[in-house]
Amino acid sequence: MREHLKHDDITPQLLGTAFGINPEIQDVYGEKFYMRLLVNVVDRAHKKREKLKQYNTIDDAAALLKEKKQIMVITGAGISTSLGIPDFRSKTSGFYTKLMAQGYAEPEQVFDIFEFDENPSAFYNLAGALLPEVRTFSPTHKFISLLQDKGKLQTNYTQNIDNLEQLAGIRPAQLIQCHGSFATATCRKCEFKVRGSDIFPEMRAKQVAYCKRCTERIATKAAASTPKKQKSTIYRNRYTSDDDDDTNIDDDIPTPGVMKPDITFFGEQLPDTFFNRFTNRDCKTVDLVLVIGTSMKVAPVSDMPNHLPKQVPHIYISREPVDHVNFDIQLLGNCDDVVFELARRAGWELMHAMIPPGFQTVVEPVEGKEHHWKVFRLLDD
Ligand code: OAD
Ligand code: ZN
């Protein structure tokens, strides 16, 4: 950056355009903000992993699967869509896409912790649609558990909150739920934890779930107070007498905390297990990375490939190609079809009720991209 900016003809704004930054950002947010953003973006571009030239084809991918023994699998919502669970960003069916169609300008705010604390009903109004109602797993889940059975699965880092990995037999010791899950819920005030299912009724009914412990404590306190005091605790500021005027009437009304499912919201730190396992263990030992069914738009998961040793190959499996992360091989199609074909080429049998007998796929090259391949199922008719 310093080199470039020495030239008078290159302004920070012009340099920023080379990294996709809208020059108007400086006018709107000021120079200091703009320069911080530029440094960040340039730093990111600098750290972006480079594609390994020797791996390009689907057979290279199958050979890697056979050869490697400590595989990291990073998954997202795309591995559950074949079960009828929507993902977030797909063009018409994604959860966020649908919310935008309903008039939500920034649908990701539903999962923003600051928004949640301000107005939890926005989340509770929509949360019912996200509950894990499905009790089956996809062929892709099964493929990951097949890797585990073969002793090759180092860790499945899932961003999903549907808990279907356990159902497919992926052991807790091999699984990191990067964005938490609905398995438990915690009070935002007193940190009381309950089983997630305890608040499902409120989520389904679109009502905010409040903490039972907070509620009990408030009731106990109120019962222990004299009737006069009780009135003052409930209706008045504790520090004003009944004779004072009512200006602070709402200030200290004891209210129970709101329960939040233990899924990671924007603005919240990922679980410690994520950082511990990735940095202290997997970063050093992983020999192959498979990224399946995620748009890789949400950090820090989207940054994981850039922190792994350069020689570790990365394979991407999803419907749409990506270019903001450099993958060595991109296998494009429904992930259930792709993993079926990969397993077949590796000489393994992937058995699942959704894979009928005689199932076959077609693999086609993508013009102009020697490491992109389209995979789709061959239909009988
Ligand atoms: P996205 O919806 O962003 O991405 C899903 C990706 O999977 C898209 O690229 C789809 O094209 C692709 N896809 C969908 N169905 C597929 C299929 N059957 N086969 C292959 N690919 C398919 O979902 P995530 O990347 O998981 O956070 O989103 C990341 C995070 O954003 C989520 O964990 C969620 C959200 O905010 C929380 O819930 C906290
Ligand atoms: Zn509480």
- Per-residue pLDDT 10s for the chain (381 aa) are 777 777 777 888 888 998 889 989 989 999 999 999 999 888 888 889 999 999 999 999 999 999 999 999 999 999 999 999 999 999 999 999 999 998 888 999 999 999 999 999 999 999 888 887 888 999 999 999 999 999 999 999 999 998 999 999 999 999 999 999 998 999 999 999 999 999 999 999 999 999 999 999 999 988 887 565 444 444 333 333 344 444 444 446 789 999 999 999 999 999 999 999 999 999 999 999 999 999 999 999 999 999 999 999 999 999 999 999 999 999 999 999 999 999 999 999 999 999 999 999 999 999 999 999 999 998 765
CB 332 within 8 A of CB 366: yes
Cβ-based neighbour number of residue 97 at 10 Å: 16
The C-alpha atoms of residue 45 and residue 228 are separated, in whole angstroms, by 65
Calculated CA dihedral for residues 11, 14, 15, 18, nearest 10 degrees = -170
Written as six digits, the tokens of 1 are 């950056």
The CA angle 247-248-251, to the nearest 5 degrees, is: 160
- Please choose, from the candidates 154, 144, 158, the residue with its C-alpha nearest in 3D space to the C-alpha of residue 285: 154
What's the pTM? 0.88
Distance 213 CA to ligand 2 centre (A): 5
Q: Is 7 in the active site? A: no
Return the DSSP state at 154.
Answer: E
Query: Which ranges in 225-299 belong to alpha helices (H)?
Result: 227-235, 272-277, 283-285
Q: Which atom of ligand 1 is nearest to the CA of 322?
A: 9
CB 13 within 8 A of CB 38: no
Ligand nearest to the CA of 160: 1
Q: Point out the catalytic residue in the list 141, 179, 352, 371.
A: 179
- Please choose, from the candidates 177, 173, 223, 213, the residue with its C-alpha nearest in 3D space to the C-alpha of residue 193: 213
- Please choose, from the candidates 305, 357, 332, 288, the residue with its C-alpha nearest in 3D space to the C-alpha of residue 147: 288
Give the residue, out of 75, 89, 98, 176, with the most ligand 1 atoms within 8 A of its beta carbon, to mutate for a pocket test.
89
- Please choose, from the candidates 169, 174, 140, the residue with its C-alpha nearest in 3D space to the C-alpha of residue 156: 174
Return the DSSP state at 51.
Answer: P
The C-alpha atoms of residue 302 and residue 95 are separated, in whole angstroms, by 19
3-class SS at 330? Answer: strand
3-class SS at 316? Answer: strand
Torsion sign (Cα): 231, 234, 236, 240: positive
Helices and strands (H, E) in the chain, number of each type: 16, 11
Q: State the angle between helix axes of 227-235 and 212-224 in degrees (0 to 180), rounded to the nearest 10.
A: 140
- Please choose, from the candidates 15, 53, 12, the residue with its C-alpha nearest in 3D space to the C-alpha of residue 31: 12
Q: Are strands 329-332 and 361-366 parallel, antiparallel or unpaired?
A: unpaired
H or E segment to which residue 4 belongs: helix 2-6
Q: Which residue is closest in CA terms to ligand 1's atom 31?
A: 298
Q: Which residue is closest in CA terms to ligand 1's atom 14?
A: 78
Return the DSSP state at 172.
Answer: G
Residues with Cβ within 6 A of ligand 1?
A: 76-78, 81-82, 87-90, 94, 108, 111, 159, 161, 179, 263-264, 293-295, 297-298, 318-320, 334-335
Give the residue, out of 295, 336, 340, 341, with the most ligand 1 atoms within 8 A of its beta carbon, to mutate for a pocket test.
295
Distance 5 CA to ligand 1 centre (A): 38
Ligand nearest to the CA of 319: 1
Give the residue, out of 73, 79, 83, 87, with the most ligand 1 atoms within 8 A of its beta carbon, to mutate for a pocket test.
87
Ligand nearest to the CA of 262: 1
